[in-house]
Structures are given as structure tokens and as C-alpha cells.
């Protein structure tokens, strides 16, 4: 088993110290931050499946989230060094109402900032009206909505409807990108968003495409 695989395994088994130790070792031997993050995302998926099968309880999800946060602290400096870009557009980002998952959203924020975007991060459990308020105040080029629980899709839909609705300035048609582990084309259609992704780097490319002035 490679060090990366061992690290992934340790996270799946919720072994905090071992995960962090292996992360430090992998970084020391030159493993890219992005590669480490991808391994962590796969591990989190397995943790989620174990929770679904009742092999892990809520405490398992909480611990996994905690360990991931600590891993993120270790890889963050490398991540910022690996990614860079010219000054880009402005993105308004947040996890929608009814959802408190923020690990993925925070990774996207870091990736976007590293690529030169200005990111206004509204945090978690953000109601549609708050997004509208900030769209009017900050005039972003893209709105990014994050959501991991199924219930978040309705909040995303409500947010898009409000942004496209009568209260919003018709001239201000801001593209909306949605992201989160379980999102797919069907969800995008339900929500009425312009684009979707389950990957932070693809999210950056989508935002670059949407803000490109040709
Ligand atoms: C860790 C975790 C938690 C932690 C979250 C900690 C935190 N600070 O975020 C805690 C313990 C708080 C938690 C709580 C709950 N959780 Co939870 N959780 C997870 C778990 C295991 C991992 C999530 C994660 O961080 N993944 C890693 C990140 C990096 O991946 P990501 O979020 O997908 O983000 C990437 C991309 O999607 C993308 N991206 C994300 N957002 C955006 C936004 C934009 C704009 C763009 C461009 C890209 C983008 O970029 C990221 C990097 O590539 C998932 C399992 C899974 N499969 O996702 C369950 C999971 C999401 N949770 C689940 C559940 C059920 C819950 C609870 C309801 C449990 C409970 N009984 O209370 C609560 C929800 C409370 C709420 N209202 O939100 C279910 C959801 C099922 C469903 N269909 O609704 C899952 C799928 C587990 C499962 N399989 O059952 N959870």
C-alpha cells in the first residue's frame, strides 16, 4: 500500500493521529496538495457510505469532518502555492439554507482565491434572501451554491428563483453554479442553475469560463 493509500485508509478508519502523520509524510516526500485532497474526498465518500449503512454513527461523521479540517490546514499552504492565476472575477459563495456542510465550499473558496478570484463567502445555512441582498450589494460575476444534503436542492431552487425573480434587477442575470458531492445534471435541471460540478478545480474552470470576456 502506498503512503497515500494508507492515509486514505486511516481517514476511513477515523484514525486522527495516523491520518495527520501520513499527510505530513506524504507532503514531505513531495505529494501534491491537490492529490492529497482528492484522496481525502474519496475517503469521506466511504465514511458517508458507512454512516448510511449504520456502521458509523453521527459521531463518526463529526470526527471525519474534524480530521479533514486538520488535513486541510496542513495542505493549505501547498495548495495556494500549487494554484495561481491572474486577477479574475468576483464570486459570491455560500452553503444554502438547511445545510451546514462547509468543507467542500471552503476548498472551492481557497481554489478560486488562488486563481485570482475575489470570493465573498457567506458561510453556511444561507437563506435565499441573503444571497439576493449580496448580489445587489457586490454585483458578483458568478454565484456559487454549495449543498450536500438532499434538502439543500430545494433551497438552491428557491435561491435561483429569487435571483431570477421580479425583485432582482432584470439586467443582472448572474450565472449560478452549484456544487456538492451528490449533485448531478438532474439536480442542476431541478434547481435551474447554469452549471454544476462535484469537483473544486472544475468549479474554478467553470467560473473562468463564465467570467471570460472574449
Ligand atoms: C463530514 C460530513 C458531515 C459533517 C460536516 C462537517 C463540515 N464542517 O462540513 C457533519 C458531521 C457536520 C455532517 C452533518 C450531517 N450530515 Co453529513 N456528511 C459528511 C460527509 C461524510 C463528508 C462531506 C465532506 O466534507 N466531503 C468532502 C468535501 C471536500 O467534498 P464535497 O463537499 O463534495 O466538496 C467538493 C465538491 O463537491 C465541490 N464543491 C462543493 N461545494 C461546491 C460549491 C461550488 C460553487 C462549486 C463550484 C464546487 C463545490 O468542491 C469540493 C472539493 O472538490 C458526507 C459524505 C459524502 N459523500 O459527501 C456526509 C453526508 C453529506 N451527510 C449526510 C447527512 C445525512 C448529514 C446529517 C443530516 C446527519 C444528521 N443526522 O444530523 C447532518 C446534516 C446537517 C445539515 N442540516 O446540514 C448525508 C446526506 C444524505 C442526503 N442525501 O441528504 C451524507 C451524504 C452521508 C451519507 N451518505 O448518508 N456531515
Alpha-carbon gap, residue 31 to 48, rounded angstroms: 25
**Residue 115: per-residue pLDDT:** 83
66 CB-near residues (< 8 Å, 6+ apart): 16
**Residue 143: per-residue pLDDT:** 97
Asked whether 94 lines ligand 1 (CB < 6 A), one says no
**Residue 110: per-residue pLDDT:** 86
Query: How many other CB atoms are found less than 10 A from the CB of residue 52?
Result: 9
C-alpha 157, offset from chain centre: 18
Q: Which residues pair with 40 in a beta bridge?
A: none
| Residue nearest ligand 1's atom 89 by CA | 48
Q: Could you tell me if 71 and 23 are in contact, meaning their C-beta atoms sit under 8 angstroms apart?
A: yes
Asked whether 121 lines ligand 1 (CB < 6 A), one says no
**Residue 177: per-residue pLDDT:** 98
Q: What atom of ligand 1 comes closest to residue 49's alpha carbon?
A: 89
**3 state DSSP class of 48:** helix
Distance between Cα 149 and ligand 1 center (Å): 7
Q: Is 53 exposed, middle or buried (0-12, 13-18, 19+ CB in 10 A)?
A: exposed
Asked whether 150 lines ligand 1 (CB < 6 A), one says yes
Bridge-based pairing state of the strands 118-121 and 142-146:
unpaired
Mean pLDDT of successive 10-residue segments in the chain (214 residues)? 92 97 94 90 92 93 92 87 78 98 92 89 97 93 97 97 75 87 97 95 92 67
Alpha-carbon gap, residue 33 to 27, rounded angstroms: 7
Residue ranges of domains in the chain, CATH in brackets? 3-82 (1.10.1240.10), 90-211 (3.40.50.280)
| Residue nearest ligand 1's atom 81 by CA | 149
12 CB-near residues (< 8 Å, 6+ apart): 43, 46, 47, 50
Q: Could you tell me if 152 and 193 are in contact, meaning their C-beta atoms sit under 8 angstroms apart?
A: no
Amino acid at each position: 500500500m502506498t503512503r497515500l493509500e494508507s492515509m486514505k485508509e486511516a481517514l476511513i478508519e477515523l484514525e486522527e493521529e495516523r491520518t495527520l502523520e501520513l499527510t505530513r509524510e506524504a507532503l514531505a516526500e513531495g505529494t501534491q496538495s491537490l492529490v492529497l485532497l482528492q484522496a481525502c474526498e474519496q475517503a469521506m465518500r466511504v465514511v458517508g457510505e458507512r454512516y448510511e449503512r449504520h456502521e458509523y454513527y453521527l459521531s463518526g461523521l463529526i470526527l471525519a469532518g474534524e480530521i479533514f479540517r486538520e488535513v486541510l490546514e496542513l495542505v493549505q499552504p501547498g495548495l495556494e502555492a500549487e494554484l495561481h492565476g491572474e486577477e479574475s472575477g468576483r464570486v459570491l459563495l455560500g452553503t444554502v439554507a438547511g445545510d451546514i456542510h462547509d468543507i467542500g465550499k471552503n476548498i472551492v473558496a481557497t481554489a478560486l482565491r488562488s486563481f485570482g478570484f475575489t470570493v465573498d463567502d457567506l458561510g453556511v445555512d444561507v437563506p435565499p434572501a441573503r444571497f439576493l441582498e449580496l448580489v445587489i450589494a457586490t454585483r458578483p460575476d458568478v454565484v456559487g451554491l454549495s449543498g450536500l444534503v438532499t434538502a439543500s436542492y430545494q433551497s438552491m431552487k428557491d435561491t435561483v428563483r429569487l435571483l431570477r425573480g421580479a425583485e432582482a434587477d432584470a439586467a443582472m442575470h448572474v450565472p449560478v453554479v452549484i456544487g456538492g458531492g451528490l449533485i448531478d445534471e438532474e439536480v442542476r435541471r431541478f434547481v435551474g442553475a447554469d452549471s454544476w460540478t462535484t469537483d473544486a478545480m472544475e468549479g474554478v474552470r467553470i467560473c473562468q469560463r463564465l467570467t471570460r470576456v472574449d
